[in-house]
Amino acid sequence: MGQKDDRRKDQSRGAAPGDSLIEIALAQFEDNPIRATFLRNYALEHLPGDTGICLRVSELLLRQKYPELADKVAEKVLASDAESLPAQRVIARCKLASKKPADAVAIYQRILKNPRSGADDYVAAGYLVSKTKDKSRCEQIFDDGIKRFPDDIALKRKYGWALVNIGQNEKATTVFEAIEQSLPPDETVDTDLLAGEVVSRWAANAKDGAMETARRLIATDPRWADPEWVKQKGWPAEQETPLLNVVAELLRQQPDLKPKQPENSE
């Protein structure tokens, strides 16, 4: 009933329910910042009662790097549906974008209590907590997630990287190895998994194993032998430093692995 009443109000002022979505989308491509701000403000002042449109508006605002505005719109959805998982997920991302990780963690904890939460929610929550160095909470989140979704490889893979973040490198190696062993014999091991094995082994002082896996990694994609390319990934120091150290040692031993610079054409 409430949404129907809101739609009637939208229609009475001559606005269609989707107008706010269109205005927010147009603001993204507006070269004039004053005009872009006007479009966003007008859209927010005339938000419809349709929670689906509000969610899409919130997502667009977050994508345009306006997390505070996106947060307010998502909260409007929660006012209509206090258990809306999509709205809670957007709010958690808004808190994170606003550099409020503790608030984001609190939202994710609420999400995980909902029986409709998914494996991706455990991935997001657990990995975020790993960055705060809360080891016990991080491992508990992933343990609970893997119990609920035992066949989700992406969840286990992210668990391995989270373990690296909190310094549990031997355990991380075990996780990455188990994932690789579970793959079909004819399936190529992807570079993210190999990189995880390299990083965790080197950080756990299993350097011979790290070097051997690094050779496999570079054979799969030679760009991994380029330190500058690795740095562009923007990894946290717990992940980047061990990998750069392995690459440096490998190139010292095998200079021929160094990526060849393209020749200047005249």
Q: Which residues contact 1 (CB under 8 A, 6 or more apart)?
A: none
- Cα atoms in the 13 Å half-sphere on the side-chain side of 89: 17
CA–CA distance, 145 with 162 (Å, rounded to integer):
13
- Cα atoms in the 13 Å half-sphere on the side-chain side of 136: 0
Question: pLDDT truncated to tens, each residue of the chain (266 aa)?
Answer: 444 444 434 443 444 556 888 888 888 888 888 988 898 888 888 888 889 999 999 999 999 999 999 999 999 999 999 999 999 999 999 999 999 999 999 999 999 999 999 999 999 999 999 999 999 999 999 999 999 999 999 999 999 999 999 999 999 999 999 999 999 988 889 999 999 999 999 999 999 999 999 999 999 999 999 999 999 999 999 999 999 999 999 999 998 888 776 555 44
pTM, 2 dp: 0.85
Q: Where are the domains of the chain?
A: 167-256
| Angle (nearest 5°) at CA 200 between 249 and 162 | 140
